[in-house]
Structure 1
Amino acid sequence: MREDNNVRKVWSEAELDEALTDLNNDVGEDDGLAFARASLLAAAGVEEAPPAEPRRAGAWRWLAVAAAVVTLVGGLGVAAALWTPDPPETSRPAALVDLDRPLVPGEFRYAQKLGWSPEIMFGRPAWVQQKVELWIPADPAGVWHRRTMWTGVVQGLGPEASKDVQVNLTPKDEFGPGGSFPGDPPTGVVDPRWNTPLQKWLQPDAAFVAALVPDRGRLAKRLALDTITRTDNGRQHTPTESLTMVRSVLELGLAPKNVRFALSDAFGDVHGGFVTSGHAPDGRAAMVLIAKDSDQRLYLDPSTAQLLAWDAAQPTPAIIRSDQVPLTTTSIPPPSAPNSRTTTTERPKPPTPEMLGEPAATYSFAITRTSG
């Protein structure tokens, strides 16, 4: 057996150019390249949607180059890295995209929160899944688009009661210049009993995020003492309140990377706040921020400090009425259910992994060219 039988041919630049020219001269939809392209993308882990119109010659030229590169390097990693898909669907995070890169006009930062809202349904505590989507334009001072809707998934009622629930799936769309939406508290309000003017930690907008500096010491002081509600009256925040401040900012996907890391470090300096290494509920490695007083946890990507998930482990006291729950249900509850038109003095306990098998909320981020 010859020693070079298993040695691949090394193409010269001239031979490669000639092969690519021949390949591109007469390309049609049915000449086998569609199958090759689909196979290449499948091996690279990229899902391809069926084409809505005939492919342009440029797309086929890319395939030819990618196939040649794969032949030369003997692997698919380069092809995956070179492939730039169409703008990602807003229902899933972007792939192979630097989410911290500057945006160009027409692009949006997209954030999705998929979480559980505790509600009273048929007189019973239940958890209803809610999706909140946010589109922030390339210039954050422009108009933000927020869409909130129920997904129709309900847990905690049992199979008999669940089949009688009819959830309103109509989305609610809101638009806010610079991220300031109707109902948000005003900025700059002062009171002599407060440590600072009222700050928008819980409803952050473009101006608030832009004013955050990547200074761990200053951020730790703000997480402890900034006025976030009209009832603060100069008191120091609990660890859970400080964690909520961090979460509210990170949920937007707007804060730059250095600010995200500074916020996570600053939370570790808050009394009763801890930062450790661990894993997110889905098994990914994570930086974990823990509030000692409630055991609430935020899971961040350790390389980017992007928010992955949130676990809420303690009840949230509140006074709510069932007739104010933004859901459409059957008018007659199951025979076994008590009257649902009652007032409760304690909101149902937010979900935990032990209760629902998943966290209170999960997050995904992307860059898109659509605003919903």
Structure 2
Amino acid sequence: MREDNVRKIWSDAELDAALSDLHDGVDEDDGLAFARASLMTAAGTSDAPPQPRRSGTWRWIAVAAAVVTLVGGLAIVTSLKTPPSEPAQPAATLQDIDRPLAPGEFHYAQRLSWLPEILEDKPVMIQQRVELWIPADPTGVWHRRTRWTGAVRGLDEPKHVQVNQLPFDEYGPGGRFGTGQNLGGQTAPTWNTPFQNWLSPDADFVASLTPDRGKLAKRLNFDTISVHDNGKAHTATEALDMVRTALETGLVRKDVRLALRDAFGGVTGAFVVTGRTRDGRAATVLGTKDTGQRLFLDPATAQLLSWDGRFPPTPVTTRSSEVPMSTSRNPPRSSGGAGPPATTTTTPVSPQLVQDLETVYSFAITRTSG
């Protein structure tokens, strides 16, 4: 060890004096309780920490710094501010989200996707986040929040773009959002079955799914999912959309998810293989031969990991030049809110942007924080 690498070591007396000065005016047990409670709060397992008695502001800073230093390697504590009275962000792992919920807890689902828009006369992809909170009793009110993240692909200098990131919140009793007519259960002469809400799943629809692979395979082939259904079997891509939108809720039970995974292989033009996501995670891959789309599921739980929607470029649908910038308060396009009329351009999304098109999912159990 070189002399210039040696740091000063305090004597016992110096260390005792420093510690005595640090804890002067602070009850030792109270400070320890504050530090422990802060850690538990950051991990989402406790109420707000008690406030220890202090004789100076710098002493509060010292206690907080000690907490952050203690767990800095685990990246748990990022802020000691009181959380808002909103359903919390994810606080559960993929393996434990199938446990029964307690009162006040929610199934939480997040979808990060890229949507085509025209910005500065160029076709671009703008990232959208859709969050969904479903209460312990799924027949209660669901909360859906849609917003742009601010990320843009396809511009030479995207850092100069100011995308409006104001959230658009919707509340749907039993998962029924908006004022549109609910067609679930209705019939028509050209339909194989009564209308089924595969593409806009609510509590009643999810409850109708059973872990019978044979029945699910039949439903994926022939359930009526559109007013334009004419009795023909669904394509593989239509069946994949049915599986994807049902699983996106995060409400489908594990046994039903596994059955849906296996039943999808019974659709003409569909296949189920093992593989990996783009970021290298092991996955069960549900694929289609007609469009080449891929749905990646966790091998053990059949929870959604990601969706690779690579398909031939199509014309971009956009609100003319009124992409939601910081000066606009229009809700994101898929939120269901009112906005300027959509127009269709003849400029397709570039092939490179299409190759980058991927939707990523995350699921958790959360609870209200206030």
Common fold, TM-score beyond 0.5?
Answer: yes
Deviation at 1:253, TM superposition (A): 0.5
CA contact (8 A) 1:125 1:156 kept: yes
* Pairing partner for 2:207 from 190, 207, 210: 210
Aligned to 1:269, what secondary structure does the other structure show?
coil
For 2:156, the equivalent position in structure 1 comes to 158
The reply on whether 1:273 has 2:274 as its aligned counterpart is no
Q: Are 2:134 and 1:133 aligned?
A: no
In 1, are the aligned partners of 2:246 and 2:252 still within 8 Å (CA)?
Answer: yes
1:149 to 120, 128, 147: 147
Query: Which residue of 357, 360, 363 maps to 1:362?
Result: 360
Offset, 1:330: 8.1
Counterpart check, 1:220 vs 2:217: yes
Q: Can you list the C-alpha shifts for 1:19-73, whole angstroms capped at 9, x where unaligned?
A: xxxxxxx9625579959x97xx9xxxx7999x75348xxxxxxxxxxxxxxxxxx
- Per the alignment, residue 232 of structure 1 pairs with 229
- Structure 2 vs 1, CA of residues 96 and 263 (structure 1 numbering), >3 Å: closer, same or farther? closer
Say which of 111, 114, 126 aligns to 2:112. 114
Contact persistence 1:184–1:203 (CA under 8 A): no
User: Does residue 50 of structure 2 align to residue 53 of structure 1?
Assistant: yes
Map 1:1-372; keep pairs closer than 5 Å.
28=29, 52-54=49-51, 90-92=88-90, 94-95=92-93, 98-159=96-157, 162-182=158-178, 183=180, 185-315=182-312, 317=314, 320-323=317-320, 327-328=324-325, 343-345=344-346, 348=349, 355-356=355-356, 360-370=358-368
Unaligned runs of 5+ in 2: 1-26, 53-82, 329-341
Distance verdict in 2 for CA 1:197–1:350, change over 3 Å: farther
Question: Per-residue deviation at 1:94?
Answer: 1.7
Contact preservation (8 Å) 1:312, 1:351: no
Instruction: Say which SS state the counterpart of residue 28 (structure 1) adopts.
Output: helix
Q: Secondary structure at the match of 1:259?
A: helix
Three-state SS of the structure 2 residue aligned to 1:247 is helix
Question: What is the CA deviation profile of residues 253-275 of structure 1, one whole-angstrom value per residue up to 9, with x for unaligned ones?
Answer: 10100000000101011111111
- CA separation of 1:144/1:287 partners in 2, compared to 1, >3 Å: closer, same or farther? same
Distance in 2 separating the partners of 1:349 and 1:256:
38
Give the Cα–Cα distance (whole angstroms) in 2 for the partners of residues 246 and 325 of structure 1.
33
Distance 1:34 1:176, change over 3 A: closer
TM-superposed deviation, 1:93: 5.2
Per-residue CA deviation, residues 158-205 of structure 1 (Å, 9 max, x unaligned), is 22xx34532111100000000011136422222111111221000000
Give the match's secondary structure for 1:274: strand
Structure-2 change in CA distance of 1:347 and 1:175 (3 Å): farther
Q: Aligned partners of 2:45, 2:184: CA distance in 1, in Å?
A: 46
Q: Contact 2:306 / 2:359 at 8 angstroms: preserved in 1?
A: yes
Q: 1:346 to 1:190 in 2, by over 3 A?
A: farther
Aligned in 2, Cα 1:90/1:117: closer, same or farther, shift over 3 Å?
farther
Q: Is the 8 A contact 1:120 1:348 kept in 2?
A: no
Alignment correspondent of 1:23: none
Paired residues of 1:188 and 1:198 also in contact (CA < 8 A):
yes
User: Using a 3 Å threshold, how does the CA distance of structure 1 residues 93 and 125 change in structure 2: closer, same or farther?
Assistant: farther
Call closer, same or farther: CA 1:343–1:284 in 2, change over 3 Å: closer
State the SS of the aligned residue for 2:237: helix
Instruction: Find the aligned partners of 1:34 and 1:322 in 2 and give their Cα distance.
Output: 51
TM-score, length-scaled by structure 1? 0.70
- 1:183-235 Cα deviation digits (max 9, x unpaired): 36422222111111221000000000000111111111111111111112112
Separation in structure 2 between the aligned mates of residue 248 and residue 324 of structure 1, nearest angstrom: 30
Change (3 A) 1:177 1:281: same
My pick for the range that moved more, 162-171 or 221-230, is: 162-171
Identity within the alignment, %: 53
Secondary structure of the residue that 2:145 maps to in structure 1? strand
Query: Size of the alignment, in residue pairs?
Result: 297
CA contact (8 A) 1:116 1:350 kept: no
Closer/same/farther in 2, CA of residues 95 and 265 from structure 1, 3 Å limit: closer
Distance 1:129 1:105, change over 3 A: same
Is the 8 Å Cα contact of residues 164 and 329 (structure 1) preserved in structure 2? no
CA RMSD after TM alignment: 3.6
For the residues of structure 2 that align with 1:34 and 1:282, how far apart are their CA atoms? 36
Q: Give the aligned residue type for 1:155.
A: R
Tell me which amino acid in the other structure corresponds to 1:105. P
Letter in 2 for 1:275: V
Q: What's the TM-score, normalizing by structure 2? A: 0.70
Q: Which residue in the other structure is 1:79 paired with?
A: none
